[in-house]
Every structure is written in C-alpha cells, then in structure tokens.
Amino acid sequence: MKKSNQQFNILQFCRHVSMACMLLLIYSCASGQVVSRKNKRGVFPKVKIPRTESFTYHSTNVDDDFVISVSYPEGYNADSNKTLTYDVIYGTDANGNFALLNAMTYVMQLGAELPNVIIVGIGYKTDSIWLINRNRDLIPVIEPSLETQGYKTGGGGKFLKFIKEELKPYITQNYRVSENDTYVGFSYGGLFGLFSLFTEPDLFDNYLIGSPSIWIGDGVAFTYLDQFKAGRKDYKGRIFMSEGAYEQDSFWMQTNHMIDNWEIMRRKILDLRYVHMNLGSALFPNETHLSGSSVAFNTGMRFIYKFFVEDAEIKKALEKQGK
C-alpha cells in the first residue's frame, strides 16, 4: 500500500512538473515574441503604414507647420512605372482620416473599383494640436460660439492660399501627379470644401463633401454659393455631398440644423443646373455625425470615379425586375 502511494505521489509529482514546464515553455515563447519586438530601450516601435511617407511643411501663408502624409500606389517606384502619373486625393484632418482613407482606397483598388491614386493628407504634429487648429484652418469666418470657448477661427482663407500657392505646387514638383485631383473633407472639412468650391472652384477638379458644418457663420456658405452663382455659367466637375440620418438626434445637432442645412444646400446646387456639373448626394441611414466619415469617403470616392449608383437608378432596376 505504501508502495502504491509512493508511486502515485511520484506520478502526480511528474505530472505537476510536466505541466509547469509546459506552462513555462509557453510563457517563455510568448515572452520571447513580445520582447523581440522591442528595441534596445524596451520601447515598442510605431506601426508603419506601407507605401507612405510624411514630412513637415512650414506654410508662409498660415505661418505654422503642417505634417503632410503621402500615400502612393503599389509599384509607384518600379522602373516599369516611372512614366506613369496618378490622380491626387487631398484630404484635411489627416490625423483622424489619412489612415482610414488610405486603407479604404487600397482595398477598393484591389477590385478595380478605384484607380491607383496618390493621397495627400494635411495634418498636424499632434492630435491635441489638430483638434485646436482645425478650428482656425477649416473655418473661413470668425465663429463667436467657438471663439468664446477659446478656439481661434477664421483662418480658412489663409489655409486655402497655403494649399493653392504652396502645397499643390510642391506635390506637383515632387510626385508624378496627373492633372486630375479631388478634395476630401468632413464636418469642418466639409465646410472648407464648400468654401473652396465656391471661392476657388478651379483649385480642385472634384469635391467630396461629408456632413458639412453649414451652420458656421450663420450659414455663410450660402453667401459663398450666391457669389459663385453670380460669377459662373457652368462648372465642370463631380461633387459628392453626404449626411448622416441621425445627425439631428442630439440637442447640439438639432440646434445646428445639420440635415436641414445640408438639404437646402443640396437643392440650391441642383438648381444651378450647370450642364457639366455632376452632383451626387446621399443621406446615410443609421449614421451619426461621428460615424459617417467612413461611409461618406467610401461612397463618395466611388461616385467621383463613376462607380456610384443613385438611389433612383436602384429603384428603377428593382421595378424592372418586378420586385
């Protein structure tokens, strides 16, 4: 009996040792994998986005530094592609939107839904600076409701000159770009897109305008539209405007009349009836102001490059099928 107990204890001990060794091995492997990713100072390296680069550009117009992020397509540097040029997508709010826009376009390019493009994101050194200075750069007039909160506003004109006189010439000189480009902006960036469209309409060939903050300056964007209408008989380009269906659900959004203003602006642009202007628009169900950027970029880019199907066309196709 004692012998069998001793044998049992030995077996039990061996099982415990084996289990401990196995756990130690697993832990060692896991720890080894994690440690191997650290540099000599024990700091994890930052995630890098393939086919991208960034640089700091000091603007004389704004008198401030911007971080410019550039994404170029697969094979851009291949010898066989040295003569190719690419359309350019210029996007504001790059701190929050550059990685999203880059990943989204890359996936759609895999299915040939978009051509290869160069993406230029205009951002700031840190996210905290971005959240402050986007008020200054994307808003074209002084907005008292933001000024009382300590934000500087009204620098949109200088920011527009920075893009026109400094950034675009630099990109043209240093990257193989075609003559076709598109502006992409959301929220304040959408407002800035309207400001650019109506005051410098030839700066970009196409505009993707998501959830524009038309309430700024008591609707000053409508004044810009009137000036645009008075000075032009036509506009050749593709414009996409979107809004989230839940953008007036909160009290703050209700007071800013996001959907109401968007619908008025959309109808006023349609009423221009310019022969060569192509306007696409979408009110996205279930989307809020904060959730709507990705679907706006996705659908808007497909419209810019003619892969967008209007709701009326979908309805017509379903009726034809007897559904």
For the entire predicted model, the pTM comes to 0.82
**What local confidence, expressed as pLDDT, does residue 249 receive?**
81
**Phi, psi torsion values for 71, nearest 5 degrees:** -115, 130
pLDDT in tens, 255-311: 789 999 999 999 999 999 999 999 999 999 999 999 999 999 999 999 999 864 444
- Write out 54-104 in H/E/C secondary structure: EEEEEECCCCEEEEEEEECCCCCCCHHHCCCCEEEEEECCHHHHHHHHHHH
Residue 224 has pLDDT above 80, yes or no: yes
Residue 22 has pLDDT above 60, yes or no: no
Which position has the token pair 């904060």? 290
pLDDT in tens, 104-155: 999 988 888 899 999 999 999 999 999 999 999 999 999 999 999 999 999 9
Share of the chain above pLDDT 70, in %: 80
**What local confidence, expressed as pLDDT, does residue 113 receive?**
86
Q: How far is CA 47 from each of CA 71, 99, 135, 163, rounded to the nearest angstrom? A: 15, 11, 28, 28
**What local confidence, expressed as pLDDT, does residue 1 receive?**
43
pLDDT in tens, 157-216: 999 999 999 999 999 999 999 999 999 999 999 999 999 999 999 999 999 999 999 999
**What local confidence, expressed as pLDDT, does residue 59 receive?**
98
- The span from the CA of 130 to the CA of 144, in Å, is 20
**What local confidence, expressed as pLDDT, does residue 35 receive?**
46
Residue in 114, 87, 101, 116 with CA at minimum distance from that of residue 307: 114
Residue 23 has pLDDT above 90, yes or no: no
DSSP code of residue 308: -
- Mode of pairing for the β-strands spanning 117-123 and 86-91: parallel
Confidence of residue 251 (pLDDT cuts 50, 70, 90): low
Residue 8 has pLDDT above 80, yes or no: no
Tell me the average pLDDT across 49-65: 96
